Chain A
């Protein structure tokens, strides 16, 4: 394989990442499509015997909304999936209201199979937001501490920036795709933290080793050599993980779509960032000093 020269093109890599981050931030500012886990509300998923059409469904729901105001066209979201199932999201319904809704739907429409009813209170949604943010912050702090102990503070900072890079791009990507985010999305984002840092650490581990072997050499050369040493491993592990994730995406059903897509973006970004972001950053921070790993 041709030898890669990463360090002398640092500006290009970081520039590309900066561009992706800006695009992602625009997506995030535009807003994530928050599901009921975050906003509170009710979700009913039913499966009809044959494909339902949106127009008829909307007429039925309009009629039901005379009795249950939450089902009105301004507050409901109706989504029809390929497998004849229909998901309707509305502001929080009481148990009685859910019962009425289902009864009316059965009266006015053909028979259906009740797949799923979720109701999440507004308090829970608010708590979820808080705990998601604190999980991210606690995770970042613990990782900084661990890397500082095992390597050096500068490495920790570079790793955390690479990590934020991946998290922002994954969240931004989902925001731009407009996928709905719920609790599993948080699990996916946190898994990206783990994946991204794992990948970065393997690169750092090699930089440390090459440096110890030959301290007199230029840091840029050391980093380039280290990256070239580990890049096959980095790509191969990403590939196997990628294969597993794609299998879930293709055959795992629609309910995991957001979860899996978030992971996919995170894995690609995590692989890129450990080589093209974290390592160049270590170089930028340290090129004028002696590292003491």
Chain B
């Protein structure tokens, strides 16, 4: 019995110190809804019923990453989700409107043949085939764009130019014709120039668009969410206030209703809180507004295991058992209810996590961690404190356990 207590104490101390270390090591990461910023979901769209390969997706992400880097945000995220979607997160951006516009600028490059009536025909050569573009100067010192195609693209381009010498080839970005040079000869090596009497500024911006903007596939914006910094600050202040009030109310209730064990539950709740924060920080979980609500909700539910145990102890005391015996039996008999109840809740959080997006996932994570932490503290920390108290002090009156009468 006493040996077990030492063991319990060591476990609790290790977990608590570890959690406290991670809880205070660095500030917890906050989601866009708290910090302000931009959240964008894009989807790659295949042309003419084609398929999107994982290679297309890799290149799309690469291009988007290059664009996002332009914002100089340190915690920017470009992340693939599902088969053909990309999530972009830019926390702390001030000009949210502009950011969305820049990310969303689709810039899909296509080469199209110009027909005699001025209409354009698809050639099947597009941004997918472009390797890179650069600026050079012709013999007269006029800026021009030189571009290099991929091996696959070079083959297609050679065939295209061979069969259409003398015709105009339009270069379009997002369907808008940028320039329509005439094909003078077959271009076999996959290298070409676009000379259109550009100023140096025009040439530069065209180069940038081709490089950073030539998406391998068309990408559509499905969802954007931008949160201004003011709203984020307000949300943080309000959640803090709500959290503190919730803690005070729950703790007061436990102390008033369960007396001595209630106070112990309050200490356990504090330990539980530190463990939750430490774990969240260790896994670099992002705290969102629903996530905070999940945390506060957890506080209310966290005492459930304690309530189940204390009610059992009271029953044992009413049945005439000694305090020590009652505490032991109370814990023993409460286990199965605590376990079954929490496992079913964990099933739900697992579903929330796997099917939810963004903030809902955050909510599921905090709820899961909260449930596990509260289970741990209830059966280790509460038990340790309660047993120590019963073993080493002289408490004999069931009144301290909230049992009336006798």
Query: Residue A187 contacts which of B301, B337, B344, B360 (CB distance < 8 angstroms)?
Result: B360
Q: Say yes or no: A244 contacts B299, CB within 8 Å.
A: yes
Closest Cβ of chain B to A94, distance in Å, is 9
Query: Residue B230 contacts which of A95, A99, A113 (CB distance < 8 angstroms)?
Result: A113
Chain B residues with CB under 8 A of A186: 356, 360
Closest Cβ of chain A to B182, distance in Å, is 34
Chain B residues with CB under 8 A of A80: none
Q: Say yes or no: A135 contacts B355, CB within 8 Å.
A: yes
Q: Which residue of B lies closest to A118 (CB)?
A: B225
Q: Which residue of A lies closest to B333 (CB)?
A: A209
Interface size counted on chain A using CB atoms at 8 A: 70
With A135-B352, A241-B300, A256-B290 as known contacts, state yes or no: A113 contacts B245, CB within 8 Å.
Answer: no
Q: Which stretch in B111-119, B134-142, B232-240 binds the other chain? A: B232-240
Bound Cα distance from A119 to B304, whole angstroms: 40
Q: Which stretch in B64-72, B95-103, B157-165, B206-214 binds the other chain? A: B95-103
With A119-B224, A240-B303 as known contacts, state yes or no: A250 contacts B348, CB within 8 Å.
Answer: no
Bound Cα distance from A191 to B356, whole angstroms: 13
Q: Say yes or no: A124 contacts B223, CB within 8 Å.
A: yes
Please name 12 pairs of A and B residues whose Cβ atoms are closer than 8 Å in the assembled complex, sorted by A.
Answer: A117-B225, A119-B225, A135-B351, A187-B360, A190-B351, A194-B348, A197-B348, A202-B341, A236-B257, A239-B253, A243-B300, A248-B293
Q: Say yes or no: A120 contacts B345, CB within 8 Å.
A: no
Q: Does A184 contact B (CB under 8 A)?
A: yes
Closest Cβ of chain B to A17, distance in Å, is 21
Kindly list 5 other residue pairs between chains A and B, CB separation below 8 angstroms, not including A99-B101, A248-B296.
Answer: A119-B224, A139-B347, A187-B360, A244-B296, A245-B297
Q: Say yes or no: B254 contacts A240, CB within 8 Å.
A: yes
Chain B residues with CB under 8 A of A248: 239, 242, 246, 293, 296-297
**Which residues, 338 to 355 on B, are CB-close (under 8 Å) to A?**
340-345, 347-349, 351-352, 355
Q: Which residue of A lies closest to B248 (CB)?
A: A247
With A118-B225, A121-B221, A255-B289 as known contacts, state yes or no: A240 contacts B100, CB within 8 Å.
Answer: no
Bound Cα distance from A190 to B350, whole angstroms: 11
A217-245 Cβ-contact flags toward B at 8 Å (1 or 0):
00000000000011011001101111111
With A244-B299, A245-B297 as known contacts, state yes or no: A197 contacts B345, CB within 8 Å.
Answer: yes
Chain A residues with CB under 8 A of B223: 119-121, 124
Q: Say yes or no: A241 contacts B301, CB within 8 Å.
A: yes
Bound Cα distance from A142 to B234, whole angstroms: 39
With A95-B100, A194-B349, A237-B304 as known contacts, state yes or no: A244 contacts B231, CB within 8 Å.
Answer: no
Q: Does A216 contact B (CB under 8 A)?
A: no
Closest Cβ of chain B to A132, distance in Å, is 8
Bound Cα distance from A123 to B234, whole angstroms: 31
With A114-B96, A244-B250 as known contacts, state yes or no: A205 contacts B337, CB within 8 Å.
Answer: yes
**Which residues, 85 to 107 on B, are CB-close (under 8 Å) to A?**
96-97, 100-101, 104
Q: Does A146 contact B (CB under 8 A)?
A: yes
Closest Cβ of chain B to A266, distance in Å, is 11
Q: Which residue of B lies closest to A130 (CB)?
A: B355
A144-185 Cβ-contact flags toward B at 8 Å (1 or 0):
001100100000000000000000000000000000000110
Interface size counted on chain B using CB atoms at 8 A: 70
Q: Say yes or no: B222 contacts A123, CB within 8 Å.
A: yes
Q: Does A10 contact B (CB under 8 A)?
A: no
Query: Residue B235 contacts which of A119, A190, A233, A255 (CB distance < 8 angstroms)?
Result: A255
Q: Say yes or no: B307 contacts A115, CB within 8 Å.
A: no
Q: Which residue of A lies closest to B257 (CB)?
A: A236
By a beta-carbon cutoff of 8 Å, the part of chain A in contact with chain B is: 45, 47, 95-96, 98-99, 102, 113-121, 123-124, 131, 134-135, 138-139, 142-143, 146-147, 150, 183-184, 186-187, 190-191, 193-195, 197-199, 201-202, 205-206, 209, 229-230, 232-233, 236-237, 239-248, 250-253, 255-256, 259-260, 263
Closest Cβ of chain B to A255, distance in Å, is 7
Query: Residue B249 contacts which of A118, A230, A243 (CB distance < 8 angstroms)?
Result: A243
Closest Cβ of chain B to A39, distance in Å, is 13
Q: Say yes or no: B363 contacts A187, CB within 8 Å.
A: yes
B243-267 Cβ-contact flags toward A at 8 Å (1 or 0):
1011001100110010000000000
Bound Cα distance from A143 to B222, whole angstroms: 34
Chain A residues with CB under 8 A of B43: 123
Chain A residues with CB under 8 A of B250: 240, 243-244
Q: Say yes or no: B360 contacts A183, CB within 8 Å.
A: yes
Query: Residue B307 contacts which of A120, A134, A147, A237 (CB distance < 8 angstroms)?
Result: A237
Closest Cβ of chain A to B33, distance in Å, is 8
Chain B residues with CB under 8 A of A206: 337
Q: Say yes or no: B238 contacts A263, CB within 8 Å.
A: no
Q: Say yes or no: A118 contacts B224, CB within 8 Å.
A: yes
B345-383 Cβ-contact flags toward A at 8 Å (1 or 0):
101110110011111100110010000000000000000
Which of B41, B239, B246 gathers the greatest number of chain A CB atoms within 10 Å?
A: B246
Q: Say yes or no: A117 contacts B242, CB within 8 Å.
A: no
Query: Residue B227 contacts which of A115, A142, A195, A197 (CB distance < 8 angstroms)?
Result: A115
Q: Does B316 contact A (CB under 8 A)?
A: no
Q: Does B311 contact A (CB under 8 A)?
A: yes
Ranked 3 nearest A-B pairs via Cβ: A244-B300, A241-B300, A194-B348
Chain A residues with CB under 8 A of B364: 187
Chain B residues with CB under 8 A of A250: 242, 245
Chain A residues with CB under 8 A of B333: 209
Q: Does B18 contact A (CB under 8 A)?
A: no
Bound Cα distance from A114 to B242, whole angstroms: 25
With A138-B351, A184-B359, A251-B245 as known contacts, state yes or no: A146 contacts B337, CB within 8 Å.
Answer: no
